[in-house]
């Protein structure tokens, strides 16, 4: 074999070695990434579950606060209505009394 052929064969061998080394690096990197993804998956699932639980708690808390506020305001409105009803009936009583007396006096005449 000539030197050129040997050099060509050696070059091809080196290229093949480099290709194999690069493929090994790619495979190793792919494996590392796959392992990292596998490690992150449970963490992500836990984070999602935790966020969901926290969100549900916030919704429940918000509903309870709204319910309390609505109850307080309803009670306030009822008390105001009772007060106004009491004031109105006390204002009507003197007028009704006079009308009743007039009706009674008409009946006596």
Higher confidence at residue 72 or residue 3? 72
30 vs 93: which has the higher pLDDT: 30
The residue among 47 and 108 whose pLDDT is bigger is: 47
Residue 98 has pLDDT above 80, yes or no: no
Q: What is the pLDDT of residues 20-49, one digit of tens each?
A: 999 999 999 999 999 999 988 898 999 999
Q: Where are the alpha helices (DSSP H) in the chain?
A: 3-108
Residues 6+ apart with CB under 8 A from 1: 9
Average pLDDT over residues 36-65: 93
Locate the domains of the chain by residue range. 1-84
More confident residue, 99 or 83: 83
Question: Residue 105 and residue 109: Cα distance in Å, rounded?
Answer: 6
99 or 30, which is more confident?
Answer: 30
């Amino acid at each position: 074999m000539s030197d050129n052929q040997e050099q060509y064969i050696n070059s091809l061998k080196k290229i093949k070695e480099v290709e194999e080394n690069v493929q090994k690096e790619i495979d190793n990197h792919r494996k590392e990434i796959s392992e990292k993804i596998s490690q992150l998956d449970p963490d992500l699932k836990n984070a999602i579950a935790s966020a969901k639980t926290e969100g549900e708690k916030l919704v429940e808390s918000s509903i309870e606060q709204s319910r309390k506020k609505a109850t307080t305001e309803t009670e306030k409105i009822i008390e105001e209505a009772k007060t106004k009803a009491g004031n109105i009936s006390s204002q009507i009583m003197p007028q009704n009394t006079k009308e009743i007396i007039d009706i009674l006096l008409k009946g006596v005449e």
